[in-house]
Structure 1
Amino acid sequence: MDVLLYLGGIVFMLIGLGLSIGLHEVGHLLPAKLFGVRVGQYMIGFGPRLWSKRIGETEYGFKLLPLGGFISMSGMYPASTAAGPAKGLFRALVQDARSANDETIAAGAEDRVFYRLPVWKRVIVMLGGPLMNLILAVVIFTVLVSGIGVQQGTTTIASVNECVLPAGSTATECAADDPATPAAEAGIRPGDVLVSVGGQSVSTFAEATAIVQAAPGKTLDLVVRRDGAEKTLSITPVEAERTITDASGQPVLGDDGEPVVKDVGYVGMGAQMGFVQQPFSAGPQMAGDTVARVGSMILTLPVRIWDVGVSLVTGGERDPNGPLSVVGVGRLAGEVAATDAPVLNRFSVLLSLLGSLNVALFVFNLIPLLPLDGGHVVVALWDGIRRAWAKLFRRPPPAPVDATRLVPLTVVVATLLIAMGAVLLLADVFNPVKLFGG
Structure 2
Amino acid sequence: MRAAVRVAQVTANSKAGAGTVTVVEVIAFVIGVVLLVVGLAVSIALHELGHLLPAKKFGVRVGQYMIGFGPTLWSRRRGETEYGFKAIPLGGYISMAGMYPPSPALRRRNGAVTGHRTGRAGGGFFATMVQDARTANDETLLSEDDDRVFYRLPVWKRVVIMLGGPVMNLLLALVLFAILLSGIGVQTATTTVQSVSECVIPSGVTRTTCAASDPIAPAKAAGLQAGDVIVSVDGTGVNTFAEASAIIRKSPGRTLIVVVERDGVVHSVNLTPVAVMQPVTDSSGKAVLNPDGSAMTQEVGFAGIRQEVQYVRQPIWAGPQAAVENVGAVAGVVFQLPVKVWQTGVSLVTGQERDPNGPLSVVGAGVLAGEVASADAPVLNRVAGLLSLLASLNIALFVFNMIPLLPLDGGHIAVALWDGIKRGWARIFHRPPPKPVDATKLVPVTFVVVIALVAMGAVLILADIFNPVSLF
Range class of TM-score, shorter chain: 0.7 to 0.9
- CA deviations 1:265-319 (Å, max 9, x no partner) are 7655320233232222322222222222221211221122223333334444333
State the alpha-carbon separation in 2 of the partners of residues 288 and 155 from structure 1. Answer: 30
Q: Decide whether the 8 Å contact of 1:157 with 1:191 is kept in 2.
A: yes
TM-score normalized by the length of structure 2: 0.79
Residue 386 of structure 1, CA deviation? 1.0
- CA deviations 1:42-81 (Å, max 9, x no partner) are 1101111111111222211111111200111121111222
Q: 1:42 aligns with which of 65, 75, 83?
A: 65
State yes or no: 1:411 paired with 2:444: no
Local SS of the residue matching 1:28: helix
- CA deviations 1:170-228 (Å, max 9, x no partner) are 897599996973x45653211223456657462x32244356668896965624242xx
State the alpha-carbon separation in 1 of the partners of residues 160 and 203 from structure 2. Answer: 56
Show the counterpart of 2:111: none
Q: 1:84 aligns with which of 95, 113, 117?
A: 117
Show the counterpart of 2:27: 4
Q: For structure 1, which runs of at least 5 residues remain unmatched after alignment? A: none
State the alpha-carbon separation in 1 of the partners of residues 442 and 241 from structure 2. Answer: 58
Q: 1:355 aligns with which of 374, 387, 391?
A: 391
Q: Decide whether the 8 Å contact of 1:162 with 1:180 is kept in 2.
A: yes
Q: Decide whether the 8 Å contact of 1:154 with 1:276 is kept in 2.
A: no
State the alpha-carbon separation in 1 of the partners of residues 346 and 285 from structure 2. Answer: 31
Show the counterpart of 2:87: 64
Structure 1 391/275 Cα, relative in aligned 2: closer, same or farther at 3 Å?
same
State yes or no: 1:28 paired with 2:51: yes
Q: 2:470 aligns with which of 430, 434, 437?
A: 434
- CA deviations 1:20-59 (Å, max 9, x no partner) are 1111111111222222222221110111111111122221
Show the counterpart of 1:192: 228
Q: 1:224 aligns with which of 253, 257, 261?
A: 261
State the alpha-carbon separation in 2 of the partners of residues 130 and 19 from structure 1. Answer: 14
- CA deviations 1:142-177 (Å, max 9, x no partner) are 222222222232232023356789988989759999
Letter in 1 for 2:437: V
Local SS of the residue matching 2:46: helix
Residue 254 of structure 1, CA deviation? 6.4
Structure 1 115/3 Cα, relative in aligned 2: closer, same or farther at 3 Å?
same
Residue 333 of structure 1, CA deviation? 1.6
Residue 12 of structure 1, CA deviation? 0.6
Letter in 2 for 1:224: E
Structure 1 179/64 Cα, relative in aligned 2: closer, same or farther at 3 Å?
closer
Show the counterpart of 1:304: 340
Structure 1 109/267 Cα, relative in aligned 2: closer, same or farther at 3 Å?
farther
> How is 1:209-358 mapped onto 2 (pairs within 5 angstroms)?
209-210=245-246, 222-226=259-263, 229-233=264-268, 268-358=304-394
Structure 1 209/12 Cα, relative in aligned 2: closer, same or farther at 3 Å?
same
Show the counterpart of 1:139: 175
Show the counterpart of 1:17: 40
State yes or no: 1:118 paired with 2:125: no
What fraction of aligned residue pairs are identical, expressed as a percent?
59
Structure 1 258/23 Cα, relative in aligned 2: closer, same or farther at 3 Å?
farther
User: Structure 1 residues 115-124 or 254-263, which shifts more?
Assistant: 254-263
Two-structure CA RMSD over aligned residues (Å) = 3.4
Q: 1:365 aligns with which of 401, 425, 430?
A: 401
State the alpha-carbon separation in 2 of the partners of residues 194 and 54 from structure 1. Answer: 65
Q: Decide whether the 8 Å contact of 1:13 with 1:354 is kept in 2.
A: yes
State the alpha-carbon separation in 1 of the partners of residues 350 and 258 from structure 2. Answer: 59
Residue 409 of structure 1, CA deviation? 1.0
Q: Decide whether the 8 Å contact of 1:312 with 1:427 is kept in 2.
A: yes
Local SS of the residue matching 2:104: coil
User: Structure 1 residues 105-114 or 237-246, which shifts more?
Assistant: 237-246
State yes or no: 1:55 paired with 2:55: no
User: Structure 1 residues 300-309 or 216-225, which shifts more?
Assistant: 216-225
State the alpha-carbon separation in 2 of the partners of residues 165 and 175 from structure 1. Answer: 11
Letter in 1 for 2:427: K
User: Structure 1 residues 100-109 or 414-423, which shifts more?
Assistant: 100-109
Local SS of the residue matching 1:320: coil
State yes or no: 1:130 paired with 2:153: no
Residue 338 of structure 1, CA deviation? 2.2
Structure 1 430/234 Cα, relative in aligned 2: closer, same or farther at 3 Å?
closer
Q: Decide whether the 8 Å contact of 2:348 with 2:463 is kept in 1.
A: yes
Residue 255 of structure 1, CA deviation? 9.8
Structure 1 180/390 Cα, relative in aligned 2: closer, same or farther at 3 Å?
same
Letter in 2 for 1:414: V
> How is 1:372-411 mapped onto 2 (pairs within 5 angstroms)?
372-411=408-447
State the alpha-carbon separation in 2 of the partners of residues 242 and 146 from structure 1. Answer: 38
* Count of residues in Structure 1 that have an aligned counterpart in Structure 2: 430
Structure 1 293/236 Cα, relative in aligned 2: closer, same or farther at 3 Å?
same
State the alpha-carbon separation in 1 of the partners of residues 57 and 79 from structure 2. Answer: 15
Structure 1 278/102 Cα, relative in aligned 2: closer, same or farther at 3 Å?
same
Local SS of the residue matching 1:37: coil
Local SS of the residue matching 1:141: helix
Q: Decide whether the 8 Å contact of 1:251 with 1:260 is kept in 2.
A: no
State the alpha-carbon separation in 1 of the partners of residues 437 and 284 from structure 2. Answer: 54
Q: For structure 2, which runs of at least 5 residues remain unmatched after alignment? A: 1-23, 106-115
Q: Decide whether the 8 Å contact of 1:186 with 1:233 is kept in 2.
A: no
User: Structure 1 residues 339-348 or 189-198, which shifts more?
Assistant: 189-198
**Higher RCO (CA 8 Å, separation ≥ 6 residues):** 2
Structure 1 389/318 Cα, relative in aligned 2: closer, same or farther at 3 Å?
same
